[in-house]
Structure 1
Amino acid sequence: MGWDWTDVGDIRRRLDEGADPEKWSGGRPLHRAAVFGSPEVVAELAGRVADVDALEDGVTALWEAVVSRRPDNARALAAAGADPWLPSLGGWSPGRLSLAGPTPALFPAPEGVRLTDTERAAAQEAGRLIAALGEFYYDGTGLACVSGIDAAEAVRRLEAAPVEGEVIDELLEDPYAYDTDESLQFIGVTSVPGGCVVTQPWGYAPKMPGVLTRLSAGTVCYGLYANPKSGNQGSIARHGAVEGWDLHPGGGPYEDDSPEEVLNAYLYQHHAVACACAFAGLRLTDARAVAGPPDVWVRLPDRDYWSH
């Protein structure tokens, strides 16, 4: 029987009957409550553990509350003695990271603790970009966000050919009715501020290595496939070479992340498309480049796109 992390009466009863406040299903109850619980449950557990700043997967419960945007739980932990300024992933503390989020006044900041101008600008742009894209369905979509080139240059690099309107209209009616190899050849390309977006609402073609390497000559691009079965899959290509694969845009942050990666993971958590666009420096003003219709539909030439 699972625990209801919002029911303080139930949690208190379980603890009084001998449940271990330090262990639950292989993890720490306080960390679980910090993300999924109520402030009352967090306070109850915090009063029973030996160390309110104990680590799980390298982070404290307070870090989890901040990253999960649970400010009431974060306040309950701080009131119980958790340290907002304890360094964590990428050198960030929960308190300093919160300065970049929706509740920058969550904790009274010590003298001299602030965001840099670069960090503040990144936080502001994240808020703008996420709002501009809005909410839309993108499961099954493949993207390549390319920095510094427009749609015409992307089409030239891919040696792609424009597609007649009737052909693409028929495909769009039911792309999954087509042979996969055939439907993967059709992609949309759109110029946006900062570069361009290559999109395919029904497949992963924009993320194929042979597409990314051609698009990234002299620049950088971020590939994304929103796999309906396994989640968002990301990759990075720079100067014609793939340098990052099996990434998880919209997830994290993770233990080995750099300071910049921790900040970006926090800012774009659960916003994989915005994360991909931001990495390439694209400043979209709406979701059309991703959700359609694109500036132009083109057909990729026949070639092996998996051997780069």
Structure 2
Amino acid sequence: MYSYVLRRLGMMAVTLLAIITLTFFLMHAVPGGPFVSERMLAPEIAAALNAKYGLNLPIWQQYFNYIGSIASFDLGPSFKYPGVSINSMIAAGLPVTLRTGLLAVLCVMALGVPMGIVAALNRNRWPDTTVMFVATLGVAIPSYVIATVSLYVFALRLGWVPTFGLEDWRGYFLPVFALSGFWISFVSRLTRSALLETLDQDYMITARAKGLRQHQILFKHGLRNSLLPVVTVLGPVVANLITGSFVIEQIFALPGIGRQFVLSITNRDYTAIMGITIFYAAILMVMILIVDLLYVWLDPRIKLTKAQP
């Protein structure tokens, strides 16, 4: 187990280095610069700014300087907000994004899995049809459409929740609903398919023939094996929800990481774009590692190390 984790951490470091390299050179390949604006700067001011941030150095030297700062967990300064570092920018937006994302993850697991179970246990009956109809709508309708419609109906017309921001706890309802809508539908469909396949296995038929009760068959034998496909997508889903949806945070004016990323693109804040991209990649790789470790707990037949001959 420990050797496997160490190998994976080494692979994650190599992957993260590749992402850093690709992001760095893509940002420097974009025409223009971080200080390009509608009001043209005097050449002397532009040269002073480039010298301050080291942008006048050769590209290879800028790259190694950036790698050195990343190695010390310093994502660099913001080019658009003097005195603000990317670390502090992420630290300021992370609590909002984290709370919203974790609430969305709870909604996905609390609603998506039970909906899939109900649909599978009532195959071809009205509960199955109802769940699949709702799930199809959730998958087909984009999250920004859900956000816009719910904002108009529940905030503007009915006035049940604030239109934007997080002035009180009600402000989390619509962002969480918009974030989790697609994934609730996706997880419910995935759970239904996996559980239907499991229920037709020989060992499940044997369990029913032994006279075991339905809930024993479901929770002790069926559901644990059926959750493997759900766990497979759980890592990317959690990473996506925790790091925030760029569009959703922009629509609801949430001061999270996603909105900061959108603003950094608009402002051509290159260090912010690179820093948030690297942060997202690191979170995603950590969640994938956690998912691989969960496999062993769900199915002891899965081995993380190679079998000895």
Range of TM-score over shorter length: under 0.3
- Name whichever structure is richer in helix by fraction: 2
Q: Which has the higher relative contact order, 1 or 2, with Cα contacts under 8 A spaced 6 or more apart?
A: 2
TM-score (norm 2): 0.28
- Name whichever structure is richer in strand by fraction: 1
Q: Looking at CA atoms only, which structure, 1 or 2, has the larger radius of gyration?
A: 2
